Amino acid sequence: MQDKHLRTHPAARALPYLRLTPYRTPMACLALPETDDAADLARLGEGVARLTAGRYEVSRVLARGGMSVVFLAWDTAEGRPVAIKVLDPREGATLENRERFRREARIASELAHPHIVPCHGSAHQGQITLTILRYVPGESLEEKLAREGTLSVRAALAILLPIADALAHVHAQGVIHRDVKPANILLHADDAWPFLTDFGVATLKTSEASRSEVAKGFGTPAYMAPEQVLGQWDADARTDVYALGLVAYRMLAGRLPWVSETAMGLAVQRTVWDPTPLRQLNADVPPALAAIIDRCLARDPARRWKTMAEVRRRLLKVRARLQRDASPPSPLARLLGRLEARAHALAPRLASLLLL
């Protein structure tokens, strides 16, 4: 079905409320544009230095997204590099955007977890609103997938398990991320240690102001759950379960379940069709792992895994089985195997002797 046919589907009526974050060029992959914006970014960096009383020496732009710019800076007090995320002053002109940005800093600062990028603090003065984050050298999962295409099952599990654990922790604190995608998973340059980042559109279950944004559809269309596309208010942990399922699918299949030339078509398709079963695209995926991912991607939230903790437990079982199958047998196991084979070989002879 072409995109023009999808435009007539009822789900398309929800799309004007989506914040259409570009999914083909995620923030972590954007370079500094060679336009007059470079001068604006330089002035913004100078403003950051003034706001922090010179504590942070801004060196360069790391990334630029739809609402913010991320600078690499040196923390002169702590003697360490940091990432400073600054709300674009044009976006910060609205109280709603400033509040959302500050809420992201509050949420991130309260989510202490080894696989979540730590937030060291935030500040606001005049037109500048910023957040100080740990600097993670390396690349995003989006960049890795753009370069490698697909990952092995073991490599995918090495990312899925820590991120599932991080999201289970997030959910236990009453937070829904709502923008889980490869661009928001960072891989450390030293050991590919994965970090979950960017809580810019996260919601607090206990905050009415935060929950009201669910219906506005903030997020990235390529990784939205059907209920986000439709602007439903009851998005919960299963929304992140769906998104992590899409991340897993992308890692193992090399692409998303749907293909479209437009964000609208990409978003609407998931409300109409079920994904192609993963093993049809990659037969090397163990059936147990494929079943976990397929259930994550159920269109009806009631048919998905209820919690991220359950997803993590299932993934641990898959990893344990893979490790067991790959491990060489111990000397005792080899001896028992030989004895069992010998017993099978002698069984017919013993049976004939008993009949005499």
Closest CA to 248 of 203, 336, 315: 315
Fold of 23-134: Phosphorylase Kinase; domain 1 (3.30.200)
Instruction: Read off the pTM.
Output: 0.78
The predicted-structure confidence for 54-91, as pLDDT tens digits, reads as follows: 888 888 888 877 778 888 999 999 999 999 998 877 76
Low-confidence ranges of the chain (pLDDT < 70): 1-38, 40-41, 91-93, 204-218, 233-234, 327-330, 333-334, 337, 341, 343-356
Spell out the residues 6+ positions from residue 228 whose beta carbon is closer than 8 angstroms to its own. Answer: 178, 214, 217, 219, 235, 239
- Kindly list the catalytic residues: 179
Q: Examine domains 23-134 and 138-326 and report if their fold is the same.
A: no
Note the pLDDT tens digit of each residue in 13-31.
Answer: 433 333 333 322 333 322 3
Q: What is the CATH code of the structural domain delimited by 138-326?
A: 1.10.510.10
Instruction: Sketch the domain layout of the chain as residue ranges.
Output: 23-134, 138-326
* Residue 308: exposure state from Cβ atoms within 10 A (0-12, 13-18, ≥19): buried
Residue 68 bridge partners (DSSP): 87
- Token pair 């977890």 is found at 113
